[in-house]
Amino acid sequence: MERSFAAWAACLSQRTNRSLAGAMVIPPAGAGADFAAQAAQWGMAEASGAGGSDFVFDAARPPQRDMRTASGLEAMDHAARHMRVLAELMDRLAGEGMDLAGVRIAVCLVLEPKTAVLLRALREAGAQVGVFCEPSDTDQRVADQLRREGVVVEADVRWDAEETHRGALRLLDRIRPQIIIDDGASFARLAALERPELIEGLVGVAEETTSGVRAFEAMAQASALTFPVVAVNDSVLKTGFDNAHGTGETCVTTMQAILGDDAFHGARVTVVGYGPVGRGFATRVRALGARVTVCDTDPVAALKAVFDGFPAQDIDQAVREADIVVSATGVRHTIAVEHMRLMRPGTALAVIGGIANEIALDEVPGFTRRVGRDLTTIQVPGGPRLRLLAEGDGVNYTAGGGNPIEIMDLSFAVQVSAVAHLLATRGALTPGVHRLPPESDRRIATAALRVRGQSASHAVADNGYDWTLTRFADSHSEAR
């Protein structure tokens, strides 16, 4: 076989940005147990025929067209074709009375084709939409195409730090948002700190990430949160799919694109942080032949890793022999200089969490971030020379296409549900961090199953819970 599972998965993921998790695949002729096991650990199932498959393994040639070289319009349209849940939900919410006409929405998310589909959907529903993005997270072809389509865009890969700051403030001034769709609580905090006069008109915020929810909770504890926040991140369809499958999968395949298809085979990999992202990553690289060790400050998380078959160690011990070290915590200085000094020369460092200085690069003399540099070396003061991926930013969205299309379809459906909830409860939702009602996840999951030709099971009419029925009552009845 000319192409291994590792090479095929990396190629397909990077070229198409499609999700392998949840997909049906036709394996190669004569595929053995190894292929089936690897595919299963990546969340794929074997299709019975070409008509029911998402992908066909072809050992001889690359799968499908490479969307990385497509135009912005082509990449956006490609994403839209596979984001059927978002489209269905927008139609359903509109039918139930969601009115976005004239609603001013500022979006602060990674700007790439999938985000563009969300922006288009909101704009087509009548909202006045604007988007801001950091230079390192901006797909310029998408930014340019959105401008041509009339979306307010404040994002440019050429901006320096000062221009980026001005661009963010400019979007606040241009849109004067009623709703903010945020990533890391960055945009809403900027508004609160530097445009406080806009907060009075803010209906609320939909927050995408774990780190952002933490920031808003800290604001609430400090009595500084004066508006409602819907924790999109706390939806099961976000953490259980976006974090575990989307980030876990695309961080692996992006690192393969940088380090080589077989970079994980036989490699000693230390994963710091065993939440959904860390677990999703660790499971996949183990399927590719890596020897994985997990570090987590939470003993419960460390115990989960052990029961998943991963040794759990203190970080000082685990990094010493590692070939690759990844941070999956979303916590500043997870990988401190003292940890880097313990590593072997040439160890590869990557962030799959995604906040500033998750690796303590601000304490590495002479290090300066440069957009577009996927692999560089850093000299640790008093320590070894290490390889750094994606400038220490989140590797999958900085050096790759970000989370897969079908995964972001679910996450953006949750975002739209949060927007609808904020508007429906305007004036009634108190300042603080709130969760969506459980019915929101059930509705989106049902739609996601339906577009895949699958469904949940039904309940028997009389099998509801009755607290008066016990095993003792049953045995007493039988005895009589």
Query: To which H or E segment does residue 146 belong?
Result: helix 140-148
Q: Closest Cα partner for 348 from 218, 458, 251?
A: 251
Minimum mean pLDDT range among 50-59, 141-150, 176-185, 386-395:
50-59
| 396 known member of a binding site | yes
Residues 454-458: what's their mean pLDDT? 90
* Three-state SS at 386: strand
What pLDDT sits at residue 6? 92
Find the helix packing angle between 5-16 and 248-259, rounded to 10°.
100
Q: Report pTM.
A: 0.91
- 307 to 128, 150, 283, 300, 312: CA distances (angstroms): 49, 52, 12, 11, 10
Give 262's Cβ-side CA count (13 Å radius).
4
What pLDDT sits at residue 2? 46
pLDDT band at 99 (very low <50, low <70, confident <90, very high): very high
CA atoms of 77 and 189, how far apart (whole Å): 33
Residue 467 pLDDT > 90: no
Write the pLDDT tens digit of every residue in 105-114: 999 999 999 9
Write the pLDDT tens digit of every residue in 247-306: 999 999 999 999 999 999 999 999 999 999 999 999 999 999 999 999 999 999 999 999
Residues 391-410: what's their mean pLDDT? 95
What pLDDT sits at residue 296? 98
Strand order from edge to edge, sheet including 375-379: 291-295, 268-272, 324-327, 348-351, 385-389, 375-379
Residue 166 dihedral angles phi and psi, to the nearest 5°: -65, -40
What pLDDT sits at residue 469? 80
CA atoms of 22 and 13, how far apart (whole Å): 13
Residue 318 pLDDT > 50: yes
| 232 known member of a binding site | no
Write the pLDDT tens digit of every residue in 163-215: 999 999 999 999 999 999 999 999 999 999 999 999 999 999 999 988 899 99
Residue 226 pLDDT > 80: yes
| 276 known member of a binding site | yes
| 463 known member of a binding site | no
Residues 235-244: what's their mean pLDDT? 91
pLDDT above 70 covers what percent of the chain? 95
Residue 153 pLDDT > 90: yes
Secondary structure E strands in 43-103: 45-46, 55-56
